[in-house]
Amino acid sequence: MTVAKNETNAVSVQSVNYVYQGNPINFRINGKVMICANNMAKPFGYSKEPKHWLKNQTTNEFLSELCKVRFLTLADLVVVRKGGVNPGTWFHEDVALEFARWLSPAFAIWCNDRIKEILLQRMGAGAAPQVLEAQRSIDCPPDSKEVAKWKSCFNDAMDVVKSMNESNNKMLQTMAYHQSTLTNFVHNYVYPDNRMTRVPEQAFNLIMSLGEIIKQQQQTFDFIMKGGKE
């Protein structure tokens, strides 16, 4: 496979360094994310260098398909720079993720998270600060006040969810009652004299009970999706 040896095609506007197991990995952004494959491979030894991966038949097939799907050329996906400001082998983000999977599943997940973080920052998404804060809370032990705050929020959320579950259970019992009554009317087990007039009524009650359960479950789902905030 012939890859692009290009001194000008690699991105050079913004550089971001993340550290994986003590090894800095350079991400460069200019309309797309390019990642230094040499940095990526360093924690995994010589046998995992990008030149070995690029020789694989499955890699060639992947790059060929990616060019078609993304309407890109190979020079857009793989850039090899010898000397200059940013030397090394640089992979487009899609290629970098595939390479990362070859290196290590855990590393692939880490790379995917870093790329998402970069994209959120570029879009100026309101969720970006929360993502960064969550990452920091994983990387660094929170202080006792933070633990107490999150524990309190969690307990409040659990109380509300328990209350909603109790309401759901009551609705289920009501629906079961209406269903049983409707069955009795339809099959003439009970109240044979007014079966025809009561069947529509019981069917309506059953439908309304089911609707209330669906509504309650939707409220529970919305509550959870909002992070426990009413």
Q: What is the pLDDT of residues 23-50, one digit of tens each?
A: 899 898 777 889 999 999 999 999 999 9
Judge if pTM exceeds 0.75: no
User: Does 69 lie in the same domain as 105?
Assistant: yes
Identify the domain containing residue 41 by its residue range. 4-139
Alpha-carbon gap, residue 79 to 53, rounded angstroms: 14
User: Does 167 lie in the same domain as 104?
Assistant: no
User: Does 135 lie in the same domain as 174?
Assistant: no
**Strand order through the sheet with 14-20:** 4-5, 78-81, 88-92, 33-36, 23-29, 14-20
Nearest by Cα to 17 from 130, 82, 114, 162: 114
Q: Does residue 201 fall inside a structural domain? A: yes
Domain count, the chain: 2
User: Does 150 lie in the same domain as 125?
Assistant: no
Average pLDDT over residues 201-217: 65
Q: Give the tens place of pLDDT for each residue, 103-153.
A: 999 999 999 999 888 877 766 544 444 444 555 444 444 556 666 666 676
Q: Is the dihedral of CA 49, 17, 75, 106 positive or negative?
A: positive
Task: Using the 3D structure, point to which of 118, 139, 160 is the last residue of a domain.
Answer: 139
Instruction: Identify the H or E element spanning 97.
Output: helix 93-103
Task: Using the 3D structure, point to which of 86, 121, 139 is the last residue of a domain.
Answer: 139
| Pair of tokens at residue 193 | 């004299």
User: Please, which residues bridge with residue 26 across strands?
Assistant: 17
Q: What is the pLDDT of residue 17?
A: 87
